[in-house]
């Protein structure tokens, strides 16, 4: 019987998806799910949800909740880390903004500051794992993902993999752009987290890039305010037109890595790429206050649902965490995209760095795939 630990479980929007994903697999319905957070209130809320979900469906999962990290980790087989130091209002962004560098929470400047804050805490978690569950896998979700995983690889002995939903979410977005079901789409993606390339994009086994280029002949497809969950997708469309490949994540995040798109001194450019419009909190002038207020409302709604007679459905998300655990426990292989040490997987990126590549997962573990060479001729630029 596997023991699955979620560190930072109090972030219930993410944790409820992870818990639901786990129990959606029949092979994992006797696993122990240990929830850990430093705040008792949010922890109690997600624990109540987990217990209700398991009871409603008649599963045998044991649900634990504790603020004691070592207690949670003791005997763990899988540790899912979702912490965000500082909560909604991260000081890393304030440090970047102080010097006029507004680049989100994983962008170049604030990404460095955020990493310097997060890494020591996550290394402490790894030290606890080395002591009480040395054979466990760490499934790392905390940002900045590449920086953190690089540090874990260099300074600990913990088996780890970095996970992000940007690849499957982008695949679903591409399926939407070409008007095809996501179940009929396949892809091969490699790069770095939040900046990986769809080297292959297929529909029913055939190259789907011609369909995407045809769809993008109409600018309204990608420039509408509701084109993507984060608003207009103009930046990624421009990158596609230039290089012939589509990027993961959202346009407003990609723009943080490419300063020629995001120029605060050029409001005309910001307006052209719609980088100051849209509903995402990262681009809201009062993003922290807005997000905090919305989370208070979400917490109350979630608590009311738990206390009501609401039936919680088993609707799996696109997260990779439970897929990995299921593959390792059941022996039913799967393929994911994950962040791992670069051991020649992408030859034109630094050896030993962290890269996001396709990985096969089975009972024996996680097996990264060779992704691309320094000169990848898969597709010529448009």
Residue from 165, 194, 228, 326 carrying the catalytic annotation: 165
Supply 176's token pair.
């939407």
Which of 379, 14, 21, 345 has its CA nearest to residue 164?
14
Angstrom distance (rounded) from CA 72 to CA 210? 50
Q: Report residue 350 CA to chain centroid gap.
A: 23
Supply 11's token pair.
């972030």
> What is the chain's Cα-based Rg?
21
Which of 142, 75, 156 has its CA nearest to residue 106?
142
Give DSSP secondary structure letters for 112-147. Answer: HHHHHHHHHHHHHHHHHHHHH-TTPEEEE-PSSHHH
DSSP H or E stretch at residue 289: helix 287-307
Does the N-terminal peptide bond of residue 277 adopt cis geometry, omega within 30 degrees of 0?
A: no
Angstrom distance (rounded) from CA 137 to CA 157? 11
Which of 145, 133, 115 has its CA nearest to residue 337?
145
Name the DSSP class of 61: -
Whether 165 is a known active-site residue: answer yes
Supply 303's token pair.
């608590």
Residue 49 half-sphere exposure, CB side, CA atoms within 13 Å?
A: 28
- Catalytic positions: 165
């Amino acid at each position: 019987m596997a023991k699955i630990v979620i560190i930072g479980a109090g972030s219930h929007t993410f944790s409820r998806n992870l818990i639901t994903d786990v129990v959606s697999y029949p092979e994992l319905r006797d696993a122990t799910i240990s929830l850990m957070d430093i705040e008792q209130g949010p922890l109690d809320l997600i624990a109540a949800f987990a217990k209700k979900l398991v009871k409603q469906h008649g599963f045998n999962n044991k649900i634990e909740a504790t603020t004691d990290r070592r207690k949670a980790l003791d005997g763990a087989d899988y540790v899912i880390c979702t912490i965000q130091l500082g909560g909604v209002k991260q000081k890393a962004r304030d440090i970047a903004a102080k010097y006029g560098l507004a680049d989100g929470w994983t962008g170049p400047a604030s990404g460095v500051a955020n990493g310097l804050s997060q890494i020591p805490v996550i290394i402490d978690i790894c030290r606890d794992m080395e002591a009480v569950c040395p054979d466990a896998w760490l499934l790392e979700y905390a940002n900045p993902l590449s920086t953190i995983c690089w540090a874990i690889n260099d300074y600990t002995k913990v088996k780890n993999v970095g996970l992000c939903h940007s690849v499957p979410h982008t695949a679903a977005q591409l399926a939407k752009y070409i008007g095809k079901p996501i179940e009929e789409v396949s892809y091969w993606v490699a790069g770095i987290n939040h900046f990986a390339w769809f080297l292959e994009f297929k529909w029913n086994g055939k190259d789907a890039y011609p369909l995407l280029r045809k769809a993008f002949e109409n600018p309204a497809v990608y420039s509408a305010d509701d084109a993507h969950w984060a608003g207009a997708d103009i930046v990624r469309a421009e990158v596609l037109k230039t290089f012939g490949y589509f990027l993961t994540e959202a346009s407003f995040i990609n723009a943080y890595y490419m300063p020629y798109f995001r120029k605060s001194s050029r409001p005309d450019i910001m307006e052209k790429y719609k980088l100051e419009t849209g509903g995402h909190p990262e681009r809201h002038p009062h993003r922290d206050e807005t997000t905090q207020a919305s989370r208070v409302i979400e917490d109350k709604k979630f608590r009311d649902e738990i206390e009501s007679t609401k039936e919680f459905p088993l609707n799996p998300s696109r997260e990779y965490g439970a897929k990995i655990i299921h593959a390792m426990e059941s022996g039913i292989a799967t393929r994911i995209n994950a962040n791992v040490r670069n051991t020649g997987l992408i030859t034109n990126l630094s050896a030993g760095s962290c890269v996001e590549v396709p990985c096969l997962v089975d009972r024996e573990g996680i097996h990264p795939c060779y992704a691309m060479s320094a000169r990848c001729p898969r597709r010529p630029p448009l």
